[in-house]
Amino acid sequence: VTIAIGSLTNSNVTAGGATYYKVSVSNVGGSSTSSTLTFTDTLPVGLTYDSTVSATGGFVCTYVAGSRVITCTSSTALASGDTANIVYKANIAANATGSLTNAVIMTAMGGDTRTPSASGLVVGSTSVSTNKTAAQAVINIAPPVSQSR
């Protein structure tokens, strides 16, 4: 099982706006998953979860207000070669600046015997490896556009 994340809105976003993340969980093994699949996304300071826009593969996402942690779980078997896609919206704080790195990690691997690990993630890297159990995406925050009258 592998995981990837990307920003659907672009890597350059505006403070006070929103971004959409797409997380893809893929079964690269030779058989269907045999137990629960779960990943977590601890949003960086400056982002707050808004809503799950879409989810395939039986994934359901939960969020505890104030925690910055999104947990998405599926007990539906993911067939060999299949991918589940989850899209959610995050709001960007009006005072956010610089770059924000958002990382996801598998916490239940659906029967995959590897131990999930974020090792090997390089801050700012957008490369995706076929054996990753963690992934990240970087967005760059621009100041809000001021409107003059």
pLDDT digits (tens, 9 = 90+) for 19-46: 999 998 988 888 888 889 999 999 999 9
Position 106, amino acid: M
pLDDT per position as a tens digit, 110-127: 887 767 666 555 444 444
Is 0.75 surpassed by the pTM of this model? yes
What is the chain's Cα-based Rg?
16
Contacts of 135 (CB under 8 A, 6+ apart): 3, 4, 5, 23, 103, 104, 121, 128
- Residue 15, phi then psi, degrees to nearest 5: -55, 140
Alpha carbons 84 and 92: distance in angstroms, whole number: 26
Q: Comparing C-alpha atoms, which of 26, 20, 58 is closest to residue 41?
A: 20
